[in-house]
Structure 1
Amino acid sequence: MDWFNHNHMPVEGRTILLTGGSEGTGFSAARIFSSKGANVIIVSRNPIKLEEAIEALRAAAKCPRTQRFHTIEADVAEPNYAEGVVADATAWNRGVPPEIVWCLAGIATPMLWTDDGAMKAARYNMDVNYFGSAELSRAMMRAWLLAEQEKKRYLIPDPRPPPKHIIFTGPITSTLVATAGHAPHAPSRFALRALADALAMETRLYPDLPMAVHLVLPHPAAAAAASYDEARPHSTIAPPQIKGAETPQDPDDAARAAIAGIERGRYFVATSWLGELVRWGAIGGSPRNSWVVDTLMGWVVPLVMAFWMWDLRAQVAAWNQKKKVL
């Protein structure tokens, strides 16, 4: 929905909260927001990385005298973590919930489904990738709605504000396409896509409180630079890849592409040409960035995906011949 190049997510003077913001694509995005004049809150489990990252964000600030930066130490895999994070962020932000939340913390555990530990890994992936994002989005939406109710209660005049933003993140090759070796973590990403689709519709129930939902689809190599790398169990398989997915993407490039797509008002935000093709092939009933282009490409790209899937199956067969799984 590129409406005459209008910026759908201005950030100067607004407060943004990012999980996984101390390294990788999350840190790159936080630094870009700092350079655009935003107040930034980063969430991570590692206090040392948080302090290192916050100094870099201060150095990148557009308006160092007025911009503010804050760190919150939290583990997104812990049940009910989000209420405390939102309360901390709101108190620091002078009683106002952050206007933008971006869930970037994630993990990938490439294993065969029959490997020892695969079920344990699947549960942990669901805790980090799905529930970590789901809890934060719910807590933030409730905080926004409560603040809006307080304004109405006290008859505080307020012109229509810029939309709040909920941004989810899922690498293209486990959020939209799953292959051998993805079984422990792909279901958590598929669930996240379903949540994003549902919330994109549900937010329309609140016309007085505009909210936009986005699903960023980073290149797999960029997504791998997440804040949960140290929690990744030993991999027993190198999953087959769609051609082009094995080429690394710099976290700075991924962050810039993602932010540019969000500023254009897109729902699906791919950070590479491969991501665009895969989202067209798997778009289904999800919201469209462009009803005309996405619908047309949704007819064409599945033909290409058929060849991709043939190639993936061939990779699996070749891997089995080499490793003799069975």
Structure 2
Amino acid sequence: MGIFSRKNHFEVDGRTVLITGGSQGMGRGLGKLLAQKGANVVIVARTQGKLDEALKYISSFAKSPQTQRFHAISADLISPEENARVLDEVTTWNDGHPPDIVWANAGMAHPSLFIETPLETLRSQMDMNYWAAAYLAHATLKLWLRPVTPKATPTDPESPKPRHFIMTSSVACFVGIAGYCPYSPAKAALRNLADTLRSEVNLYNGFRRSKNPPSSSGVPAADVHIHCVAPGTITSPGYANEQLTKHPVTMVLEEGDAVQTEDEVALAAVTGLERGGFLITTQWLGHAMRAGALGGSARNGWGVMDTVFSWVVNIAWLFIGPDMESKVWNWGKTNEVKLPA
């Protein structure tokens, strides 16, 4: 993760950051940290009362209270139209400029066994944890990639800083765990969306460097970078709600897992971005899960440490995998399991 570079690849001082799911949990922690680093912060969530409380909290940590600005928008992001409205409102609020950084962080887990989960819940989990981010990505990239400026060269000192689109996935995207079927497929889809968009934006970033772009059309205003953050367990109101539907066997599999506060996970995520990471995890168990499931995803930094770590994890998984399988088997063998009618 940029181990050989000290450059900050994620500068936020004076820039405008849009964070969905910003009223509590990881989103609130991100808002606080980015305010401390000098960003103008816009948070989005559904409940206006929670937004008002979170905005007051976040703005109290401003690095430069006289110049930084803060805003909250109530919206239900499972609607494509609402995502477009949010971006329009932020652009107007930001003196006609689109946000520099957009963080698709909204999401919620409803852990339960697959056959015990109503089909409506399976669909709503995909809506909240995949489609809300996909709609926001689609609207944001269409806004960012409009031709608005003359061609910039890689050495141009006036070339604007890159824009960043970040998606919050989950370590559940790396390993299938009994009891997370309503949630983890959506997070796995989000990781793959990030992989694909990371490849696609190279097309537009390369075009900005074209020697002979059409003179009449211009080019996008700035390069675009895509990132995916995969946290583990975070102490939050959402986590408390998850415990209400979580199957006991899932709790057995999660015994000993590291738990982070909203501030800890925000710091780890932003540190990964500052180091230039693409697929970022926030604690050691997550690092191991990521290394063992990289596949075709881009490696962070030079990729050497990722490659070596993946060898170690794949050997360890010869023992970890069967142990997890046996825990589920033994739970079913020793406890009553509800069967479909």
| TM-score with structure 2 setting the length | 0.87
Contact 2:125 2:183 in 1 (8 A): yes
Instruction: Report the alpha carbon displacement of residue 152 of structure 1 after superposing the two structures with TM.
Output: 3.7
Deviation at 1:271, TM superposition (A): 0.7
1:217 to 2:230 alignment: yes
Identity %: 38
Q: CA deviation at 1:8?
A: 0.3
How much has 1:151 moved relative to structure 2?
A: 2.5
SS of aligned partner of 2:9: coil
What runs of 5+ residues in structure 1 fail to find an aligned partner? none
Deviation at 1:303? 1.6
Contact in 2 for aligned 1:167/1:216 (Cα 8 Å): yes
Check conservation: 2:19, 2:27, Cα contact below 8 A.
Answer: yes
Q: CA RMSD in A?
A: 2.1
| Equivalent-residue separation in structure 1 for 2:240 and 2:23 (angstroms) | 12
Bigger mean CA deviation after superposition, 267-276 or 79-88: 79-88
Cα deviation for residue 116 of structure 1 reads: 4.6
Which residue number corresponds to residue 307 of structure 2?
295
Would the aligned equivalents of 1:241 and 1:312 in 2 still touch at CA under 8 Å?
yes
The reply to whether residue 178 of structure 1 matches residue 176 of structure 2 is yes
One-letter code aligned to 2:130: Y
Q: Which residue of 2 aligns with 1:62?
A: 63
> Is contact 1:244-1:274 (8 Å) kept?
no
Amino acid in the other structure paired with 1:291: G
Question: Which residue is 1:11 aligned to?
Answer: 12
Q: Deviations over 1:265-291 (max 9, x none)?
A: 001111101111110000001000032
1:293 to partner: Cα distance:
1.5
**1:114 counterpart SS class:** helix
What is the CA–CA distance in structure 1 between the aligned matches of 2:310 and 2:18, rounded to whole Å?
33
Number of aligned positions between the proteins:
315
Alignment correspondent of 1:72: 73
C-alpha distance in 2, partners of 1:317/1:260? 39
Q: Give the deviation of 1:251 after TM superposition.
A: 1.2
Closer/same/farther in 2, CA of residues 226 and 292 from structure 1, 3 Å limit: farther
Give CA-to-partner distance per residue, 1:223-276, whole Å, 9 cap, x none: x6376976x69526131525642x321111110011001000001111101111
Measured in 2, the distance between the counterparts of 1:95 and 1:135 equals 21
- Say whether 1:37 aligns with 2:38: yes
Cα distance in 2 for partners of 1:312, 1:33 equals 38
> 1:52 aligned to 2:53?
yes
The corresponding residue for 1:143 is: 143
| Map of 1:283 onto structure 2 | 294
User: 1:318 is matched with which residue: 312, 316, 330?
Assistant: 330
- What is the aligned partner in structure 2 of residue 105 from structure 1? 106
Q: Which one of 247, 261, 266 corresponds to residue 250 of structure 1?
A: 261
- 1:94 is matched with 95
Q: Answer yes or no: is 1:308 the counterpart of 2:320.
A: yes
Counterpart of 1:127 in structure 2 is 127
Residue 161 of structure 1 pairs with residue 167 of structure 2: no
- Structure 2 letter corresponding to 1:94: D
Separation in 1, partners of 2:237, 2:93: 25
Deviation at 1:310, TM superposition (A): 1.4
Give 1:5 deviation, angstroms. Answer: 0.8
Following superposition, the deviation at residue 80 of structure 1 comes to 3.1
Structure 1 residue 47 displacement after superposition: 0.4
Unaligned regions of 5+ residues in structure 2, if any? 209-221
Contact 1:107 1:226 in 2 (8 A): no
Question: Given that residues 170 and 230 in structure 2 are in contact (C-alpha distance below 8 angstroms), is that contact kept between their aligned partners in structure 1?
Answer: yes
Greater Rg over alpha carbons, structure: 2
Verify the 8 A CA contact 1:50 1:71 in the aligned structure 2.
yes
> Residue 227 of structure 2 aligns to which amino acid in structure 1?
H
> In structure 1, what is the Cα distance between the partners aligned to 2:287 and 2:243?
30
Amino acid aligned to 2:63: K
**In structure 1, distance between residues paired with 2:318 and 2:116:** 29
Tell me: CA distance 1:104–1:285, structure 2 relative to 1, closer, same or farther (3 Å): same
With normalisation by structure 1, the TM-score equals 0.90
